[in-house]
Amino acid sequence: MDESVPFCTMCHMGRSSLSRRQSLLAGAAAAAGAIGLAPRAAAQAVTPAADQDELSQEVITTFGRLPGQQALKLWAPADGGRPPWLAEVNADQQRFVASTFKAYVLAEYLRSAEDAVDPQSDIAVADQLNTEMARKLVLDEGIFCLSSPVFAPPDLTGMVSTRTALEAMIARSDNTATDMILKQVGHERVQAFVDAIGLRATPIPASLRQLIAYDAGFAEWQSITWEQLTSPSLGSLSPQPILNDVIAMASTPDDLVSFFSRALRGEFFRFAETLDVFRAILSTADAIARMMPLGVSTFGKGGSFELNQDYALSFAGGMYVPDRWVYFSLIINWTDAEAGPLAEVEPQFVAVGRTIFTLVRDRLRT
């Protein structure tokens, strides 16, 4: 997939893609093109429940045009005398969400940064947070990961600020940046956070390097080196299911909407200044420009994944359609037997998402 496409491609390892990735890495490109062709299966028919209103039915029917295993939730809380609004499909079913999980990592890093803030200090809270995010992180082959369009391993090494890594993780879904933040904050702490706020179907990987190695079938995935990760032989192994009990980045629309509906209102942060940073970084996510119509403010994260015969696309967050919040999560997982490759399905996902969000903007803002 070309780097200009808004969703992060977590991993391209189809039948012949690893060697292609290596040639791109050698040329300083961070993302490989989608590979392999398969006939597209007919989209699953989704029948709206009888109690859905007209807008919900239109949203669900539109989403039903997509292939694979679908999961959807859009929720607008009751507000200003207006009743709540909901559209959902398989909202409690776990799916592989690819880079969308990085929003959880961002939130917990910022919560950890708040630990160093003294609200009684003469130094403004915003300045104290900026000091924490100015701390330098090591960028070298010990942390390099595939699909890193900003840090472009192995061409860049040295020290980078935490803020730069956070922005690269969200704005361009850089996987090396994500592993740097996971190492800094500790994936155990991120997992403890999502568990504590009641998200029961959301495992957090220790690192994306390890996840890619495990899913590709590498036996020593916990200690894989950059050299091993970029070896053409990695593409010839027997891959593991991308949804598994060992290492995964998965969630449900229920979990994602629960998280964003609280995080974007500041529930998990001590200071308003932290919420400002959280929203500011999430507003740069590259999925927003392609998926969202004009006239709304959006904060969120998208993700995509391709490994052998398994694929995933997701987008979750919150949109503010004048004077009203709508929280959302759209996820599809599919295989070669269900649809074509990522490059073929992603434009459909983008078009369906834009149609859905335009419907919501036009119908819920009054």
Where do the domains of the chain lie? 9-36+51-336
Calpha distance 34→37 (Å, rounded): 9
The two three-digit tokens of residue 195, written as one number: 């568990």
C-alpha separations of 181 from 8, 104, 164, 298 in Å: 17, 11, 10, 23
Question: How many other CB atoms sit within 10 Å of the CB of residue 83?
Answer: 10
Mean pLDDT over 124-130 rounds to 98
Calpha distance 57→78 (Å, rounded): 19
Sign for the CA dihedral angle at 201, 332, 190, 108 comes to negative
DSSP 8-class letter at 34: P
Mean pLDDT over 216-236 rounds to 93
Nearest to 59 by CA among 366, 365, 362: 362
Task: Determine the CATH number of domain 9-36+51-336.
Answer: 3.40.710.10
Q: What is the pLDDT of residue 234?
A: 87
- pLDDT for residue 7 is more than 80: no
Mean pLDDT over 289-300 rounds to 96
Q: How confident is the model at residue 15 (pLDDT cuts 50, 70, 90)?
A: very low
Digit-coded pLDDT (tens) for 193-203: 999 999 999 99
Q: How confident is the model at residue 269 (pLDDT cuts 50, 70, 90)?
A: very high
Q: Where are the beta strands (DSSP E) in 239-323?
A: 250-251, 297-307, 310-321
The pTM assigned to this predicted structure is: 0.88
Calpha distance 12→34 (Å, rounded): 7
Digit-coded pLDDT (tens) for 143-177: 999 999 999 999 999 999 999 999 999 999 999 99
Calpha distance 332→97 (Å, rounded): 8
The two three-digit tokens of residue 275, written as one number: 């919420």
Calpha distance 87→44 (Å, rounded): 17
Q: What is the pLDDT of residue 11?
A: 56
| End-to-end alpha carbon distance in the chain | 39
